[in-house]
Amino acid sequence: MNATLRELLATESSVLLHGYTSAQGDAETRKTVADNIRERFGVNISPDLIYMTCGAAASLSISLKAIIEEGKRDEFIVFAPFFTEYRVFIENAGGKVVISEPEEKTFQINLSDLEAKINEKTKAIILNSPNNPSGVVYTEETIKGVADILDRKSKEYGAPIYLIADEPYRELVYGDVFVPYLMNYYRDTVVCYSFSKSLSLPGERIGYIAVSPNMQDARGVYLSVCGAGRSLGYVCAPSLMQQLVKKCINAKVNIKAYKKNRDLLYGSLTSYGYECVKPDGAFYLFVKSPSGDAYEFYERAKAHEILVVPCDDFGVKGYVRIAYCTDYERVVGALPAFSALAKEYGL
């Protein structure tokens, strides 16, 4: 990728690299993204349904603002455990956060809980798979169940309930785990994508929104996305990065390095007696506090120079998140401390 960047800087005009693109993004970049979605997932999407953004955070903020009906206090369902920023994005757009509880132990979506949480105010659900913080990938069966509920409830209330697919970790999966492409399962889907994790360049701020062509009012929703992007000031995503996306759309992350860390950390922690969900994707391990108290675990881990994130605010109490997007040597080096801490707890 560095070579591609050097080549770009040497050969392209400075206006193309550093000037404004059109508000929704460079036309050729949007075509590259649309072609990529068609080739990989079989969805026949036009570049005119793609909006380039400064990463998934912008994709989500824009999408929420695009679909919310102002002043109505629309509800948005998130699935625990969830990325805490959803609360900020939803409330900033004027919406209300509704939390759906997960299935115990597997952390898959609890379909009956989802159905019970939907009402006439539900505007959308946000689905994040592979999941931050659990690393869980929702199964195809789960996704079909979600789509079925949304279909029925949209009909019952006479308005679409949107499915916002937050997908920064799509490419980070281990083994042959299948990550369903949500546009293929549910009509009213908006995909919020980011290259932050798939190209491992979160500081460069580049991603996109893709509005499903199967949506009844795809063009109307896309125009709302453009309007929301404009009013939030999220226009003309970084030009240099848009040019890079054109060249690197099929670049693959070194998944082996993450898998090596995952295998070592998960295998070791469970052998010490910790209870954790085996992550099929992303680069997080979701670990249950041996005392049941996430903050107490965080403090005791800190005394061993281990930094974990207490996850009560992610919607599930008593768990912490460990990020293993780091050097293998650092994971190896942390194991004696995890082992000592396990002994302290009498595991």
Binding site for ligand PLP (CB under 6 A): 55-57, 83, 128, 132, 166, 168, 194, 196, 202, 207
Question: CB count, 10 Å around CB of 119?
Answer: 11
In 3D, which of 123, 89, 128 has the Cα closest to residue 107? 128
Select the residue whose beta carbon is closest to ligand PLP and give its number. 55
In 3D, which of 152, 171, 154 has the Cα closest to residue 162? 154
Return the bridge partners of 320, or none. 287, 310
Nearest to ligand PLP of 203, 346 (CB atom)? 203
Nearest to ligand PLP of 71, 233 (CB atom)? 233
Chain centre distance of CA 14: 33
Taking phi first (over 0 means left), then psi (-120 to 50 degrees means alpha), and beta for anything else, what does residue 88 get? alpha
Query: Which DSSP state fits 97?
Result: E
CB–CB of 258/271 below 8 Å? no
In the complex, minimum distance from the CB of residue 44 to ligand PLP, in angstroms, rounded to a whole number: 26
Nearest to ligand PLP of 142, 196 (CB atom)? 196
Helix intervals (H) in 95-177: 111-117, 140-157
In order of 69, 76, 84, the CA distances from 91 in angstroms are 13, 10, 12
**Residues composing the chain:** 347
Asked if residue 47 has a cis previous peptide bond (ω within 30° of 0), the answer is no
In the complex, minimum distance from the CB of residue 136 to ligand PLP, in angstroms, rounded to a whole number: 12
Q: Which amino acid, one-letter code, is at 277? A: V
Nearest to ligand PLP of 307, 332 (CB atom)? 307
In the complex, minimum distance from the CB of residue 130 to ligand PLP, in angstroms, rounded to a whole number: 9
Nearest to ligand PLP of 24, 154 (CB atom)? 24
In the complex, minimum distance from the CB of residue 62 to ligand PLP, in angstroms, rounded to a whole number: 12
In 3D, which of 214, 194, 212, 213 has the Cα closest to residue 204? 194
Nearest to ligand PLP of 213, 281 (CB atom)? 281
In the complex, minimum distance from the CB of residue 36 to ligand PLP, in angstroms, rounded to a whole number: 17
CA distance 72 to 60: 19
In the complex, minimum distance from the CB of residue 284 to ligand PLP, in angstroms, rounded to a whole number: 9
CA distance 152 to 155: 5
Nearest to ligand PLP of 110, 194 (CB atom)? 194
Chain centre distance of CA 227: 23
In the complex, minimum distance from the CB of residue 199 to ligand PLP, in angstroms, rounded to a whole number: 11
Nearest to ligand PLP of 100, 154 (CB atom)? 100
In the complex, minimum distance from the CB of residue 83 to ligand PLP, in angstroms, rounded to a whole number: 4
Taking phi first (over 0 means left), then psi (-120 to 50 degrees means alpha), and beta for anything else, what does residue 85 get? alpha
